[in-house]
Amino acid sequence: MSINDATTAVNAELAGRDDIIVCDGVDKWYGDFQALKGVTATIKEREVVVVLGPSGSGKSTWIRCINRLEQHQGGRIIVDGVELTNDTRNIEKIRSEVGMVFQSFNLFPHLTVIDNITLAPIWVRKRPRGEAEQTARELLERVGIPEQADKFPGQLSGGQQQRVAIARALAMEPRIMLFDEPTSALDPEMIKEVLDVMKELANSGMTMMVVTHEMGFAREVADRIIFMESGEIVEVGTPEHFFTNPTEDRTKLFLSQIL
């Protein structure tokens, strides 16, 4: 099966759904260094996409461009029908619709867990505090740590912190979740608890873009896998295709190193 066949197959499966993220020839430079070289991809609603690639390949840069933590310099990015430009209203709209989970959790250390989660709903979504807290407690229940609500982030383990970070992102009721290496900073025994939450989330029909090195997760959960190297998308395909029968040499080399 060639790459085109694979893509066609995937596209056929997803054909009925709407596009939610469209990237068209996205370029990004840091000084003279080009981090993204014309990245073009489309992500459908309720799709789970895992982005793989060696470090420095531009995966993180790409998903950070999608909620404009980084600004792209060439090409276009359209998220849920809204194009990312300098327009402040568009940026506000997209930020409140795209949730993001970071490698280093980035919880606010001076706020309790519940305050971390309710901060944005109250001040960005303008929810009344009581309602926001109610939602926050339900979300903590969902990620499995309802009893930690009144602690400070520093008192939690890494895995618990990352689950709080996921709950914090979910509290904004995003349509899309971005995960930037969510398990890389965790001890091995804590990785599973975070991945379980992510699997549950994927099964519930959330659109997800995940940068990770967890091959097991990619194989089990992903609808599609995008392989990047030096700022370019090298190969796109289903997990089955990607892990068993990759077409590109660079993909084969990467898999041979990592598996």
| Residue numbers 180-209 binding another protein by CB under 8 A | none
Q: Which stretch binds another protein (CB under 8 A): 15-23, 133-141, 201-209, 234-242?
A: 15-23
Nearer to another protein by Cβ, of 184 and 219: the residue is 184
Query: Rule CB under 8 A: is residue 56 a binding residue for another protein?
Result: no
Query: Rule CB under 8 A: is residue 55 a binding residue for another protein?
Result: no
Binding mask 82-111 for another protein (x = CB under 8 A): xx-xxxxxxxx--xx-xxx-x-xxxxxxx-
Q: Which stretch binds another protein (CB under 8 A): 140-148, 149-157, 199-207, 209-217?
A: 149-157
- DSSP-assigned states of every residue in 151-204: S-GGGS-HHHHHHHHHHHHHTT--SEEEEESTTTTS-HHHHHHHHHHHHHHHHT
Nearer to another protein by Cβ, of 59 and 168: the residue is 168
8-state DSSP, 148: G
Of 168, 217, 188, the C-alpha closest to 48 is 217
Q: Which stretch binds another protein (CB under 8 A): 124-132, 138-146, 218-226, 229-237?
A: 124-132
Q: Which residues of 82-109 are buried (b: 16+ CB within 10 A; e: fewer)?
A: eebeeeeeebeebbbbbbbbbbebebee
96, 124 contact by CB (below 8 A)? yes
Of 193, 229, 190, 206, the C-alpha closest to 49 is 206
Instruction: Name the minimum Å distance from CB 158 to another protein.
Output: 14
Residues that bind another protein (CB under 8 A): 11, 15, 18-19, 22, 24, 30-33, 40, 42, 67, 69, 76, 78, 81-83, 85-92, 95-96, 98-100, 102, 104-110, 119-120, 122-124, 126-129, 152-155, 168-169, 172
